[in-house]
Amino acid sequence: MLHTLSVRTNTRTEFIDITSSIQQVVRTSGVGEGVCHIYVPHTTAGVTINESADPSVKADILMMLNKLIGDKESYRHLEGNSPAHIKASIIGSQVTVIISGARLLLGTWQGVFFGEFDGPRSRKVHVKICADG
């Protein structure tokens, strides 16, 4: 089963917790045991798993990405969004989560985050559910 989520971002760089949306796709699929592949088809956005209990964690990650990959460098890419491409490459475009008991098998504090690095924009997240067996 393939499902596509729409994500609307509001700022240049941000992380949006999409865990509940992904869990809803899993629930709707009816798959009790399997894997959930989450893929972002954009070159200036990504997806990652990290702590979702404390919002300062995602703020800290963005702070360091923005510090390490500055906007003022002499990039050659003419669109002016080279930092976004680099951040997306570092974060990555896909994650896989085990499904067990019809739920995402995430750690106690973990969540799935969509990373925007060239917003605000309307984005897509593809979710592929594969059942065991």
Each domain of the chain, given as residue ranges in start order, spans: 2-131
Tell me 62's DSSP state: H
d(CA 78, CA 67): 21
Output the CATH code of domain 2-131: 2.60.120.460
pLDDT at 75: 79
pLDDT along the chain (133 residues), means of 10: 96 97 98 98 98 95 94 77 95 98 97 98 98 86
Looking at residue 101, its pLDDT comes to 98
pLDDT at 43: 97
Q: How far apart are the first and last CA of the chain?
A: 15
CA distances to 28, 46, 52, 83 from 122, rounded to whole Å, are 24, 13, 23, 19
Neighbouring CB atoms inside 10 A of 76's CB total 6
- Any residues with CB less than 8 A from the CB of 126 and at least 6 apart, and which? 2, 3, 4, 5, 38, 39, 40, 41
Q: Give the three-state DSSP class for 31.
A: coil
Beta carbons within 8 Å of 9's beta carbon, 6+ residues apart:
16, 114, 116, 119, 120, 121, 122, 123
